[in-house]
């Protein structure tokens, strides 16, 4: 499979002697659905920031679509992020004063898509996630699950190479979380490449590949060819959440 993202011997250090990531290597290939799982303070959120080019490593290389992002200008990095990466966050990050379709369309601004085409693509993305009947609703008129679907539509609208979903069910009740996970699984079956960052081992266990992070290092990986591979990747059934999920918070801090 084609390489979508590759980290090679990445270390991220912060002032005060904090090492959030320590010599991490990870490759994500097109068409994968994987979980990056670890407890609070394990380094998984720092890893997400590095994968999403929201932060850069102290040492090591990060390739997105074959490009070494550590060598790019801020403008080129922003362009690459807008074209190749989609983000789904625990707290949705929707603009309160505009409609669902306008929230999704804003995700295309950085990709250089022009006005009318932006709206057409946004409407199609909302229809894809089952919200074709909520185009003009503003966030305060939507349920938590609907808000997350808008956020997912915004992430997929430009058909990015990789979708990064940070605790996507963390702010939702169990039943709504199940529906969001099922939607991500549907998008994967349609060809999307998705990495789900989670502290919940129940969720991680139901994804085809699991990358376990602890103390800033990858200590387990069921992906093909990894040193921690325990067997072939097998889809065992639909993603079903078996217990409540408690969010760990937005992406902040070096040790998260």
Residues 60-71: tens digit of each pLDDT: 999 999 999 999
Q: Which whole number is the average pLDDT over 240-244?
A: 38
**240 within a domain of the structure (yes/no):** no
Q: Is the pLDDT assigned to residue 218 strictly greater than 80?
A: yes
Give percent of the chain with pLDDT exceeding 90.
Answer: 75
**102 within a domain of the structure (yes/no):** yes
Q: Which whole number is the average pLDDT over 174-191?
A: 92
Q: Look at residue 225 in the predicted model and tell me its pLDDT.
A: 59
Q: Look at residue 124 in the predicted model and tell me its pLDDT.
A: 96
Residues 87-116: tens digit of each pLDDT: 998 889 999 999 999 999 987 887 778 888
Q: Look at residue 244 in the predicted model and tell me its pLDDT.
A: 36
Q: Tally the C-alpha atoms within 13 A of residue 250's C-alpha that lie toward its C-beta.
A: 6
Residue written as tokens 């959030």? 20
Q: Whole-angstrom Cα distance, residue 61 to residue 73?
A: 15
Q: Whole-angstrom Cα distance, residue 222 to residue 64?
A: 22
Q: Whole-angstrom Cα distance, residue 45 to residue 250?
A: 9
Q: Which of 10-19, 110-119, 161-170 has the lowest mean pLDDT?
A: 110-119
Provide the mean pLDDT of the chain.
Answer: 87
**47 within a domain of the structure (yes/no):** yes
Q: Whole-angstrom Cα distance, residue 14 to residue 109?
A: 32
Q: Is the pLDDT assigned to residue 191 strictly greater than 60?
A: yes
Q: Around Cβ 185, how many Cβ atoms within 10 Å?
A: 19
- Give the CATH number, domain containing residue 64: 3.40.50.300
Q: Look at residue 223 in the predicted model and tell me its pLDDT.
A: 84
- Categorize the per-residue pLDDT at 246 as very low, low, confident or very high, splitting at 50, 70 and 90: very low
**256 within a domain of the structure (yes/no):** no
Residues 150-163: tens digit of each pLDDT: 999 999 999 999 99
- The boundaries of the domain holding residue 130 are 3-221
Q: Whole-angstrom Cα distance, residue 113 to residue 107?
A: 10
Burial track 76-113 (b if 16+ CB lie within 10 A, e otherwise):
ebeebbbbbbbbbbbebebeeeebbbbbbbbbbeebeb
**177 within a domain of the structure (yes/no):** yes
DSSP 201-238: HHHHHTSSEEEEEETTEEEEE-STT-TT--S-----S-
Q: What is this structure's pTM?
A: 0.84
Q: Look at residue 167 in the predicted model and tell me its pLDDT.
A: 92
Residues 33-67: tens digit of each pLDDT: 999 999 999 999 999 999 999 999 999 999 999 99
Q: Is the pLDDT assigned to residue 247 strictly greater than 70?
A: no
Instruction: Classify the C-alpha dihedral 4-10-54-246 as positive or negative.
Output: positive
Higher pLDDT, 249 or 97: 97
Q: Which residues contact 194 (CB under 8 A, 6 or more apart)?
A: 32, 33, 34, 162, 163, 165, 184, 187, 188
**11 within a domain of the structure (yes/no):** yes
Q: Which whole number is the average pLDDT over 137-161?
A: 95
- The total number of structural domains that make up the chain: 1
What is the enclosing helix (H) or strand (E) of 34?
strand 33-37
**94 within a domain of the structure (yes/no):** yes
Supply the Cα-derived Rg of the chain in whole angstroms: 18
**245 within a domain of the structure (yes/no):** no
Q: Look at residue 224 in the predicted model and tell me its pLDDT.
A: 74
H-assigned helices in 52-208: 74-84, 100-106, 115-128, 144-156, 174-189, 201-205
Q: Whole-angstrom Cα distance, residue 30 to residue 22?
A: 25
């Amino acid at each position: 499979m084609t390489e979508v993202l590759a980290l090679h011997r990445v270390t991220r250090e912060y002032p005060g002697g904090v090492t959030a990531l320590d010599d991490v290597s990870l490759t994500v290939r097109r068409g994968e659905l994987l979980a990056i799982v670890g407890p609070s303070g394990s380094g998984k959120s720092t890893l997400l920031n590095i994968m999403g080019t929201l932060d850069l490593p102290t040492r090591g290389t990060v390739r997105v679509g074959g490009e070494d992002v550590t060598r790019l200008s801020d403008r080129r990095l922003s362009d690459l992020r807008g074209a190749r990466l989609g983000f789904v966050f625990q707290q949705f990050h929707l603009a309160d004063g505009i409609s669902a379709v306008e929230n999704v369309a804003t995700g295309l601004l950085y990709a250089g898509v022009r006005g009318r085409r932006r709206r057409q693509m946004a409407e199609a993305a909302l229809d894809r996630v089952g919200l074709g009947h909520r185009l003009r609703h503003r966030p305060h008129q939507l349920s938590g699950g609907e808000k997350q679907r808008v956020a997912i539509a915004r992430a997929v609208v430009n058909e990015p190479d990789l979708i990064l979903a940070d605790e996507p069910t963390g702010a939702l009740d169990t039943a709504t979380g199940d529906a969001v996970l099922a939607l991500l699984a549907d998008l994967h079956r349609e060809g999307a490449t998705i990495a789900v960052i989670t502290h919940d081992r129940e969720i991680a266990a139901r994804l085809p590949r699991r990358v376990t992070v602890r103390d800033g290092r990858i200590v387990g990986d069921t992906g093909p060819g990894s040193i921690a591979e325990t067997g072939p990747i097998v889809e065992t059934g639909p993603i079903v959440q078996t217990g409540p999920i408690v969010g760990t918070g937005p992406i902040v801090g070096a040790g998260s």
